[in-house]
Structure 1
Amino acid sequence: MMKKIFLLLLISALLIACGNQNRSQEKENDVQSTHPEWVYNAVIYEVNTRQYTPEGTFNAFSAHLPRLEELGVDILWFMPVQSIGEEDRKGLLGSYYSIKNYTEINNEFGTLADFKAVVKQAQGLGMKVILDWVANHTSRDALWVDTHPDWYVRDSLGNLNVMYDWTDIAQLDYSVAEMREEMIEAMKFWIRETGIDGFRCDVAGEIPTDFWEAAKDSLTRLNPDIFMLAEAEKPALNESVFDAYYAWDFHHKMNNVAQGKETVDSLRVSLQRMNDRFPPHAIPMYFTSNHDENSWNGTEFERMGEAAKSFAVLTYMLPGIPLVYSGQEVGLNRRLEFFEKDIIEWEDKGGFSDFYKELNRFKRKNKALLAQERDGEMTEIPNDCTEKVWSFKRVNNGNEVVCVFNFSNETVNVQFNGNVPGEGFSSFPDTSQVLPVEEMELKPWEYRIYSK
C-alpha cells in the first residue's frame, strides 16, 4: 500500500513539475508585462492611518517609519487618504472608501504637504508607497454628484445607486467617457503631486477592464515603474494592466484548513487553479489578514487559531508577494473598528516583530522565493500524509528552499520518498546545519523551513 501511495505522489510531483516547466517557457516568451525591479522580492505593508497612532495623522505615523524599515517591509499601501463624505456616513468618522473629493486630503490625517513629507521620508528609507484607489464609487455627497450628476448609475426611481450594503456610496457610470477621463486625471494628480509609486485598486473587477488599460497607459507616461495591485481575482485584469492580484480563494482555503473544514488538498487545488487561470507573469498577493478580514471576519487568530503563524510563513514561501496588515507585527488580536477611532496597541507580547523580521530577511536573502517572472520552480516533495502535510521545494539559480508544513491539529509521523531536506541545508530561523532524514515527527501546525 505504501509503495502505491509513493507512486501516486511521484506522478503528481512530475505533473506539477511539468506544469512549472511549461509556465517557465511561457514566461520566456511573454513580453506583455514586466514588473518594476523592486517588486520581485517585496513585502507589502498595509497602513491604517486612522488607527495607527492616538493622533491618527501622517506626521504621527512617520515616527514609525524607521521601525518599519527595520522590520523589512518594502511597499507601504496607504488606505484611502482623501476626504470622506458626510451624507449617510457610517459611524462618527465614516468609511475611508466613501470619498468626497478625489484630489482633496482628509484633514483628519493632516495636510497634503504632510502626506508628501511621509511619502518622501518612506522613499528615502528605501520603501515604496502605493495609494488605495476607489474608482468604483464616491460618497453620496461627492463633488461630482453636484457638478456632474450624469456620471452616476441611477436606480429605477432616478436615485443614486447603492451596491451591496454600502449605503454611504454612489456608483459611478463607466459608460460616460468624460467621467473616465476625469478619473484618470485624478489618479495622475497623486503621482505628480506626491510622487507615489502605484495604486491598490479597490473592487477592481467591478470596473471595465478597458478603463484600467487606458489608466495604466496614462500613468506609465508619468512613472514607467508604476505598480498596480487589483483587489480582484479576475485574470483579464492581469493580462496587461495589473502586476498583482488578491489570492482570495487561497485565503479562504487557508481559513477552512485551519478550522478543520478542508484538508491540505484544497490548498494544492487552489494553487493549481491560479496557475491555470492567470497569465504566468501575474503575481498573487497572499495574506492572513487585511483591513476587511480584521474588521469584518476577525483576526487571523480568530479565524486560524494556532495555525496562524504557520499560514503566515506559507504566504512567504509560495510564488507571489506577502502582505502584512497594521498591527500584525505585534500580534494584534482584536478587531479594529472601521468607522470609529480604535487605536492599535503596539506592545508585542508574543515575539511577532522578530517573527516577521526574520521572515522578511529570509525572503530577501533567497532568490528561490522571488515572485512571478523571476520565481523559483516549485516542486512537491512526495510524502505519506498528504491530507495533513504539504512538503515542497523551490529552486532558483543554485538557491533552494525546502518547506514542510503540518496543516493539522494532530502530531504526525511523516515519511518522505527520499532524504529531506538534502545535503548542505540550514534551518530557518536559527540557521543551524541539519542532517537529511527520510522521516520526521511534526507537532500540530508545525512547520520546518530549510535553505541552501
Structure 2
Amino acid sequence: MQFSIYSKPSRKKAWLLSALAIALLGSCGKAPVQNQKPATEVKKAAEKPAPAQAEAQTGKVVVYQLFTRLFGNSNNTNQPWGTIEQNGVGKFNDINEAALKGIKELGASYVWYTGILHHAVIRDYSAYGISHDDPDVVKGRAGSPYAVKDYYSVNPDLAVDPAKRLEEFQALINRTHAQGLKVIIDIVPNHVARHYQSLHKPEGIEDFGANDDTSVEYKRDNNFYYVVGQPFQVPKPQNGYQPLGGEAHPLSDGKFEETPAKWTGNGSRLAQPDFNDWYETVKVNYGVKPDGSYDFDSLPADYATKSVQQHAAFWQGKDVPNSWLKFRDITFYWLDKGVDGFRFDMAEMVPVEFWSFLNSSIKTKNPNAFLLAEVYNPALYRDYIRLGKMDYLYDKVEMYDSLKLVMQGTGSTDAIASVQQGMADIEHHMLHFLENHDEQRIAAPEFAGDANKAKPAMVVSALISSSPTMLYFGQEVGESGTLDSGFGDPSRTTIFDYAGVPAHQNWLNDGKFDGGKLTEEQKQLREFYVKLMTLSATEAVFNGAYQELHTVNKTTQGYTDKTYAFTRFNDTTKVIVASNFASTATSFALTLPADLLQQWQLSGGDVELKDMLSERKASLKVTGDTASVQIDLAPLESVVLKF
C-alpha cells in the first residue's frame, strides 16, 4: 500500500524494520477449545464462475499487475483532484478480449487486478444503499484501495451499472480465464476503512466490530483495539493539505464521528493520529495483546518443515480469534467466485500463526491457489514462507533495492551476486519486480529518468531466479508517473484519484488495446518486454540451476561493476546471460570457471551460441579446462546466449 502524501519507500522500510510488538513473533496461548466453522455457506455468484484454463507451464510464472480504476480509462484530461466526470474512470467492461490478449503477449500467467474490493470513495452512491464516506478520512477523491469498506463487494466506480457490480466483476473473471490467465485480487488483513459497512456479506456474517466490547482497549475476540473514553480526532493537516484539494463538501469539516477512537491501521494508539499515519484505516485485532503477547496457540518450531495439510490439522479443533475466522470466510467467498489467488497487503503486521491458519485453509480448499505477501523485513522471510505457508514474498528490500541503485548509477552489481547467494534457500519464493503501485516509475525523474535504464535490470530480475516476475501496467511502454493527480507524490502513478495514464493510453488506443498511438520508442520498449517475458515464461531452462559468473570475471578487462553475468542451465539447455547497466558500450572476454565446464562436460573446441534476444551469434571457445566468449554490449544492452 502507498503511504501518505509525504511518505517515501525508504521511510516505509525504516518504519517496518522497527514495527510495533503487535506485528512481531511471540508466544502466549490459551488452552484449545472447539473451533468454529464458517458462519455460512458462501452464496453462489450471480453468474457461474468459469474455471481457469489449464496451460502447461514450462517456464516461470509471470504476474501482470494492473490498477483497475486506471487501466481502461481513455480520458486524458487529468485535472488534479478531478471528478469521474472530468477525468474518467476505467471499468471492468473496458478490460476486453484484446486487452487480455495483449497482457498474455507479455508471458503473463496471472493478472493481479488491483483495487477491486469496495473501498472508501468520495462519490454519491446512496441510490444503491451505499453510505457516504467522509473526505476527512479518505485519501484522494477516488480513495485508497487499502481502506476496504466492504470485503464482500467490489468498487462501484468500476461498474457500468453499480447495482450489478458483482456480476460485472464475475464476467471479468470469466473473460480472464477464457484467455488462459488466472486472477489475483488483494486481501488487506491488517486494517479496514474507518467506516466499514458490508452490504453484500452472506447471511450469518457479521461486520467487523459489530459485536466488539468497546469498553476495553483489548479483548481477544474484538475485531478492533479501542482508545477507551476518547473520541477520534481528525489529524492536523500538514504542508497546506486540504481534503479534495480544498473543494467544499458537506462532510469536509475536520471532524469524523468515532467514539471511542480505534487504533489506526499502522498501529498508532492515539485518538488523534499523526497526519503521516494511516489515519484513513483502523487496525484489525488478531488476538495480539497491547503488550505484544499472543492470545492464541503458537506454532511449534518444527512446523517450519511440515506440510500444508499438517498445518491445517494443527488448527483443527482449536479456538482462534474471531478476526481469523472472518478473513477465512472472506477468502473462501472469493475463491468460490473463481478468484485464483491473493496478494496479502502488509502481511508482516499480522502474526505468522494466522497465516498458517488462513493459508492452510485456502490450500485445503484450492491446492493451486497463488498466495503472495508484502513483507519487507528480511529477518522474517523464512518464517512467513515456512511457518506462514506463503507461496511468494516481495523481493523488495534485497533484489529490487539493489537493482534500483544500479539503475540510478549509484550502486554496484556486486550487490546482485550477494543478494542471490543469500536467498539461495528461498529464491523460488521471492517474487521479483521493478515497478508496482507503491514504487516510483523507472522513467520518473526522481528514479532513473529513462525507461530504457530498466532493460538490463529487467533481464537480470526476470532470468536470474526461478521465482515469479511481476510487471506493472505501463512499465512496458515507459510510463513516467509525473502527473500531479491530487493526493500523493508525482513519480508514482496515483492510486488515490481519478486519472489517465498517458504512456499506457497510447497502447490502450481508445479501447482497441493495439498500441496504435505508441511512439516508435514506446513500441520498441514493449517489443523488448514481450520478447524477454516470453522467454522467461516459456523456456524451461529458467527454472533450472543458477551460477553467477560475476565474481570470476571482476578482474577481466572491460568487465566493470556496471556489468553482471550469470548462467542458467538444466540437462538439455545452457544459457549465459550478460547485462550492461552503463550508458557506454563495453566489450570483454567472459570466462567460465573450470567446475562449470566439468559439470557441462565441455572439453574442447568451439561452441556456437545464439542470442535469444537479438538472434546474433557468438562462439564459446573451450580449451582444456578454460573457456571464454567474447561479449560486446551496447549501452543498456543484454545478451541471453543459448547453446
- TM class by shorter-chain length? 0.7 to 0.9
8 Å CA contact 2:400, 2:432 repeated in 1 = yes
1:45 and 2:54 are equivalent in the alignment: no
Match of 2:456?
Answer: 310
Q: What displacement does 1:214 show?
A: 0.8
1:147 and 2:210 are equivalent in the alignment: yes
1:190–1:41 distance in 2 versus 1, CA, 3 Å: same
For 1:380, which of 549, 556, 561 is the aligned residue?
549
8 Å CA contact 2:67, 2:115 repeated in 1 = no
8 Å CA contact 1:315, 1:321 repeated in 2 = no
Q: What displacement does 1:406 show?
A: 1.9
Q: What displacement does 1:102 show?
A: 0.7
Match of 1:235?
Answer: 382
1:326 and 2:326 are equivalent in the alignment: no
Q: What displacement does 1:301 show?
A: 5.0
What SS class does the counterpart of residue 413 from structure 1 fall into? strand
What SS class does the counterpart of residue 65 from structure 2 fall into? strand
For 1:262, which of 368, 393, 411 is the aligned residue?
411
8 Å CA contact 2:59, 2:536 repeated in 1 = no
1:405 and 2:548 are equivalent in the alignment: no
Match of 1:31?
Answer: none
8 Å CA contact 2:613, 2:639 repeated in 1 = no
1:390–1:367 distance in 2 versus 1, CA, 3 Å: same
1:395–1:418 distance in 2 versus 1, CA, 3 Å: closer
1:365–1:102 distance in 2 versus 1, CA, 3 Å: closer
For 2:262, which of 131, 143, 160 is the aligned residue?
160
What SS class does the counterpart of residue 354 from structure 2 fall into? helix
8 Å CA contact 2:147, 2:281 repeated in 1 = yes
1:423 and 2:607 are equivalent in the alignment: yes
Structure 1 spans left out of the alignment, 5+ residues? 1-35
- Letter paired with 2:496: F
For 2:114, which of 73, 79, 82 is the aligned residue?
79
1:87-98 pair list within 5 angstroms: 87=134, 88-98=137-147
Structure 2 spans left out of the alignment, 5+ residues? 1-54, 74-88, 121-132, 160-164, 198-206, 213-221, 231-259, 267-275, 288-319, 482-491, 507-517, 621-627
Structure 1 residues 363-408: Cα deviation after superposition (integer angstroms, max 9, x where no partner): 23321112xxxx3333426322352321111101211121111233
For 1:365, which of 513, 538, 542 is the aligned residue?
538
Counterpart-to-counterpart distance in 2, 1:246 and 1:71: 20
What SS class does the counterpart of residue 262 from structure 1 fall into? coil
Q: What displacement does 1:155 show?
A: 4.5
Q: What displacement does 1:331 show?
A: 2.1
Which structure has the highest helix share of the two?
A: 1
Q: What displacement does 1:180 show?
A: 1.1
1:202-213 pair list within 5 angstroms: 202-213=345-356
Structure 1 residues 331-374: Cα deviation after superposition (integer angstroms, max 9, x where no partner): 2222422211112233232223212211122123321112xxxx
Q: Which has the higher contact order (CA 8 A, sep 6+)?
A: 2
Counterpart-to-counterpart distance in 2, 1:48 and 1:414: 42
Match of 1:217?
Answer: 360
1:107-186 pair list within 5 angstroms: 107-110=156-159, 111-143=165-197, 144=207, 147-149=210-212, 150-155=222-227, 157=230, 159-162=261-264, 163=266, 165-175=277-287, 177-186=321-330
Identity of aligned residues (%): 23
What SS class does the counterpart of residue 332 from structure 2 fall into? helix
For 2:499, which of 342, 365, 385 is the aligned residue?
342
Counterpart-to-counterpart distance in 2, 1:227 and 1:180: 19
- Letter paired with 2:547: M
Farther off after superposition, 238-247 or 134-143: 238-247
Counterpart-to-counterpart distance in 1, 2:561 and 2:332: 49
Counterpart-to-counterpart distance in 2, 1:387 and 1:329: 26
1:433 and 2:582 are equivalent in the alignment: no
8 Å CA contact 1:378, 1:392 repeated in 2 = yes
Q: What displacement does 1:185 show?
A: 0.4
What SS class does the counterpart of residue 156 from structure 2 fall into? coil
For 2:153, which of 97, 101, 104 is the aligned residue?
104
1:268–1:154 distance in 2 versus 1, CA, 3 Å: farther
8 Å CA contact 2:619, 2:630 repeated in 1 = no
1:438–1:298 distance in 2 versus 1, CA, 3 Å: closer
What SS class does the counterpart of residue 236 from structure 1 fall into? helix
8 Å CA contact 1:83, 1:104 repeated in 2 = yes
8 Å CA contact 2:106, 2:530 repeated in 1 = yes
Q: What displacement does 1:145 show?
A: 5.2
- Letter paired with 2:538: K
What SS class does the counterpart of residue 438 from structure 2 fall into? helix
Match of 2:86?
Answer: none
Farther off after superposition, 208-217 or 52-61: 52-61
Q: What displacement does 1:39 show?
A: 9.2
1:290–1:391 distance in 2 versus 1, CA, 3 Å: same
8 Å CA contact 2:59, 2:537 repeated in 1 = no
Q: What displacement does 1:40 show?
A: 5.8
8 Å CA contact 2:382, 2:426 repeated in 1 = yes
Counterpart-to-counterpart distance in 1, 2:617 and 2:633: 19
Structure 1 residues 398-443: Cα deviation after superposition (integer angstroms, max 9, x where no partner): 1112111123344433233359997132112233433336444433
1:246-257 pair list within 5 angstroms: 246-249=394-397, 250-257=399-406
Counterpart-to-counterpart distance in 2, 1:237 and 1:40: 25
8 Å CA contact 1:367, 1:376 repeated in 2 = no
- Letter paired with 1:73: A
Counterpart-to-counterpart distance in 1, 2:642 and 2:632: 20
Farther off after superposition, 63-72 or 238-247: 63-72
1:151–1:445 distance in 2 versus 1, CA, 3 Å: same
Structure 1 residues 252-290: Cα deviation after superposition (integer angstroms, max 9, x where no partner): 111111222221111222222222xx546x421111100
Corresponding pairs, count: 406
Structure 1 residues 222-267: Cα deviation after superposition (integer angstroms, max 9, x where no partner): 2111110111142211115111111112111111112222211112
1:301–1:423 distance in 2 versus 1, CA, 3 Å: farther
TM-score (structure 1 length as normaliser): 0.83
8 Å CA contact 2:546, 2:566 repeated in 1 = no
8 Å CA contact 1:377, 1:396 repeated in 2 = no
- Letter paired with 1:154: Y
Counterpart-to-counterpart distance in 2, 1:259 and 1:343: 27
- Letter paired with 2:639: R
What SS class does the counterpart of residue 423 from structure 1 fall into? strand
Root-mean-square deviation over aligned CA pairs = 2.5
Q: What displacement does 1:90 show?
A: 0.9
Counterpart-to-counterpart distance in 2, 1:77 and 1:242: 17
Q: What displacement does 1:106 show?
A: 1.2
Match of 1:443?
Answer: 634
